[in-house]
Amino acid sequence: MPTTSGRLGRARPHPASVPKHSGVPVIEHFDRIVIGGGAMGLATTWQLASRGLRVLLLERFSPGHDRGASHGATRNMNNAYAEDHYLDLYDEALRLWRELEAESGRQLLTLNGLVTHGDPARVRAAHDSLAARGAAIELITPDEAAMRWPGMRFEGDVLVNRDAGRIHAADALEVLDALSRERGAELRYGHRVLAIDPGPDRVTATVETPAGDVAACTAEGVVVTAGAWTSQLLDGLVDLPPLRVTEEHPAHFAVRPEFASAAWPSFNHFQPEVRRTGYRGNLYGMLTPGEGIKVGFHATGDEVDPDRRSFRASDVARAQLREHVAHWFPGLDPDSAAEISCTYTLTPSERFVLDTRGRITVGAGFSGQGFKFVPAIGRVLADATLGAARPPEAFRLDAHGVRGVHGVHDVHGVR
């Protein structure tokens, strides 16, 4: 695909001042290189370029591709968390989403509400944490919830979050791309990173171009937001917790004609402990205008090689999703599933990895729950690579039981 740049022009190469890498000419030098152009990489590029840095984003596939975890029209804007490290990030992300909307003139959020029900312990924990923050929430009975949202069934107390709903995810990618370019960032799609070589004063990225040529670029530091390919790229460079890649298969279901005027919030259905054995897992979903109601199991897919996916759910998974929709969604046609395929990259705890080792900053392991936090994570990773601030403690590598980088001590960012 063609390479374009923003209004500040093409980042200036420094041919006399940069070395050769394995016989490959180093043709350009940047302040920072971001590897991986999904939502997290675009948000990081936007943040870095907004601070006046020369930034290069390298993405193996085309914009909005369906090989990873960032594609599709919608995501849940979901704040049903009990943990402060998620709620702090959510509050910042909500503010930054609104800033992106104001700057771009495009709607990125529809806060039509979020309902959470099922496991009483999880519902109560989220309620108590949100109430302590003064969040716009209420707790209602399942009968009250069914009166408001007749297309759904509920169990136990239902947590209603008014400052939540859905993200216009595909639009968000376009906005982050456009604003990054406006600030002078270079975004190169169809460019596959073959190797990362951290040196004493800069990092070299060796890249295969769409034409099949091999070139190299250097930077003071790199940020790796490569999703399912993170472990491959950082093997031998940064010790990471296990990152398990799964293929997940939510689906859109058609609304029955008699429920055409019904309201549809975003939702979480946490399975009570008594039902977890033999049942696939927790459920989530939201309205996707023009496509139906998206319903999916969370983190139950088969482990896969991201380059060798089937893009097809198993018959068992498909049947279990249909069974759930038939029972819990009287307003949906359970036989109308339009299947989706995406990847999750899961840490054992499902907490993210946000940290810096030497000249490499990594954002990974978003475990199927990262999109709502995208602009805030971009800020965290930009701060981390610049040494402006460390990521929240819960997301650092040592919180995952990982220390050091192959004998090199942690450096909290490089300027």
Q: Which residues contact 165 (CB under 8 A, 6 or more apart)?
A: 77, 109, 110, 111, 112, 113, 114, 265, 266, 286
In terms of domains, do 333 and 365 share one? no
CB 288 within 8 Å of CB 294: yes
Average pLDDT over residues 62-73: 95
Average pLDDT over residues 218-241: 98
**Does 49 reside within a domain?**
yes
**Does 24 reside within a domain?**
yes
**Does 103 reside within a domain?**
no
In terms of domains, do 316 and 230 share one? no
Q: Which residues contact 67 (CB under 8 A, 6 or more apart)?
A: 61, 306, 309, 343
Examine the fold and report which residue of 302, 326, 346 is the final residue of a domain before the chain moves on.
346
In terms of domains, do 336 and 259 share one? yes
Examine the fold and report which residue of 346, 376, 409 is the final residue of a domain before the chain moves on.
346
Average pLDDT over residues 218-226: 98
In the predicted structure, residue 407 carries a pLDDT above the cut 80: no
In terms of domains, do 187 and 294 share one? no
Q: What is the mean pLDDT of the chain?
A: 91
In the predicted structure, residue 11 carries a pLDDT above the cut 50: no
Q: What is the CATH number of the domain that holds 131?
A: 3.30.9.10
In terms of domains, do 266 and 331 share one? yes
**Does 10 reside within a domain?**
yes
Examine the fold and report which residue of 346, 367, 392 is the final residue of a domain before the chain moves on.
346
CA 319 to CA 147: how far, in whole Å? 28
Instruction: Tell me how many degrees the CA angle 303-197-379 measures, rounded to the nearest 5.
Output: 70
Higher pLDDT, 27 or 331: 331
In terms of domains, do 35 and 183 share one? yes
CA 82 to CA 129: how far, in whole Å? 5
In terms of domains, do 341 and 369 share one? no
Higher pLDDT, 365 or 404: 365
pLDDT band for position 21 (50/70/90)?
Answer: very low
Q: Up-side HSE of residue 20: CA atoms within 13 Å toward CB? A: 4
Neighbours of 124 (CB within 10 A): 15
In the predicted structure, residue 334 carries a pLDDT above the cut 60: yes
Q: Which residues contact 247 (CB under 8 A, 6 or more apart)?
A: 301, 302, 304, 309, 310, 311, 341, 342, 343
Q: What single-letter amino acid sits at 45?
A: T
**Does 367 reside within a domain?**
yes
**Does 182 reside within a domain?**
yes
In terms of domains, do 138 and 233 share one? no
pLDDT for residue 180:
99
pLDDT for residue 16:
30
In terms of domains, do 198 and 61 share one? yes
* pLDDT tens-digit readout, 135-148: 999 999 999 999 99
pLDDT for residue 15:
32
pLDDT band for position 272 (50/70/90)?
Answer: confident
pLDDT band for position 404 (50/70/90)?
Answer: low
> For the chain, give me the number of helices (H) and strands (E)?
9, 23
In the predicted structure, residue 17 carries a pLDDT above the cut 60: no
**Percent of the chain, pLDDT > 90?**
87
In terms of domains, do 366 and 311 share one? no
Beta-strand (E) ranges in 51-112? 55-59, 74-77, 109-110
Residue 277 tokens read as 């054995």
**Percent of the chain, pLDDT > 70?**
89
The residue count for the chain: 415
pLDDT for residue 13:
34
In the predicted structure, residue 291 carries a pLDDT above the cut 50: yes
Q: What single-letter amino acid sits at 323?
A: E
In terms of domains, do 182 and 314 share one? no
Tell me which residue range forms the domain holding 367.
4-69+171-239+350-400
CA 353 to CA 163: how far, in whole Å? 26
pLDDT for residue 403:
77
Average pLDDT over residues 5-27: 42
Strand, helix or coil for residue 392: coil
Q: What is the CATH number of the domain that holds 33?
A: 3.50.50.60
pLDDT for residue 9:
31
In the predicted structure, residue 123 carries a pLDDT above the cut 80: yes
Phi, psi dihedrals of residue 218, rounded to the nearest 5°? -120, 160
What is the count of structural domains for the chain? Answer: 2
Q: Which residue has the tokens 């420094």?
A: 14
In the predicted structure, residue 274 carries a pLDDT above the cut 60: no
**Does 51 reside within a domain?**
yes
In terms of domains, do 262 and 338 share one? yes
CA 165 to CA 371: how far, in whole Å? 13
pLDDT for residue 23:
63
In the predicted structure, residue 314 carries a pLDDT above the cut 50: yes
pLDDT for residue 24:
73
pLDDT for residue 409:
37
pLDDT band for position 275 (50/70/90)?
Answer: low
pLDDT for residue 3:
35
**Does 413 reside within a domain?**
no
